[in-house]
Amino acid sequence: MKSKKNKLTDKVLVLNTSREFLGTKPLYKAIKDVVTNQVIVLESTDRLIKGGINKHGVQTEMAAPTVICEREYVNVKYDHLFKISYSPENVKLRDRYTCQYCHNKFKEDELNIDHVHPKCEGGKLTWTNSVATCFSCNTIKGSQSLKECGFSLRKMPIKPSGFSEYLRLKVKTIPESWEQYLY
Ligand SMILES: [Zn+2]
């Protein structure tokens, strides 16, 4: 049976020596770190990645890593590491591509960003004043306040912070092999 190939751009979870989350990197970069002995492989799939020919004339192969750990402690400021910058794309991701007024799911390009507190009344484009809306809800709401248009928000928009939100926004789907390392 032919196994499905790992894409070299697949994300690999990178942990510090303390097992704290450091980030993710594409598989091809993780393989380079493994080959140069900078990291330890904690989890891998049973899919083999073919490498070059070694001095014995044999083609090398390696199980594709999914979780790796640094060999030397990396000094990082964790607050800085989990910073998620404000952007319309990240607001749509935070809101899981769901219109915050009619609660239907849409594609990214079928959503706008609405100023909850209207722009004309001084509402700013910030995490806490921006929500994803579909075009029709956006048109109905226009420059009215929530009270004026009778819309309500299921939950108040928040500024995403911390590690789990960071991962959800950056990675979207968390591979099963990562779960025991995320806490
Ligand atoms: Zn809507």
Which pLDDT score is estimated for 136?
A: 96
For residue 117, the Cα-to-chain-centroid distance in whole angstroms is 28
In the predicted structure, residue 4 carries a pLDDT above the cut 60: no
pLDDT tens for each residue of 12-42: 999 999 888 888 899 999 999 999 999 999 9
Strand, coil or helix: 14: strand
Any idea what the Cα angle at residue 24 is, between residues 18 and 27, rounded to 5°? 115
Looking at CATH, the fold of the domain delimited by 88-149 is given as: DNA Binding (I), subunit A (1.10.30)
Question: Residue 105 C-alpha to ligand 1 middle, in angstroms?
Answer: 8
Q: Which of 5-9, 140-144, 159-163 has the lowest mean pLDDT?
A: 5-9
What contacts 108, CB < 8 A, 6 or more positions away? 89, 92, 97
- In three-state secondary structure terms, 128 is helix
pTM above 0.75, yes or no: no
Structural element, H or E, at residue 175: none
pLDDT value for 32: 93
Determine the distance separating the centroid of ligand 1 and the alpha carbon of 173, expressed in angstroms. Answer: 25
The residues spanned by each domain of the chain are 11-76+166-181, 88-149
Cα 62 to ligand 1 centre (Å):
48
Average pLDDT, the chain: 87
CA of 168 to the centre of ligand 1 (A): 23
Burial 56-65 (b: 16+ CB within 10 A, else e): eeeeeeeebb
Ligand 1 centre and the CA of 38: distance in Å? 49
pLDDT value at 1 more than 50: no
Single-letter residue type at 85: S
Residue 139 has pLDDT above 90, yes or no: yes
Tokens of 172: 């979207």
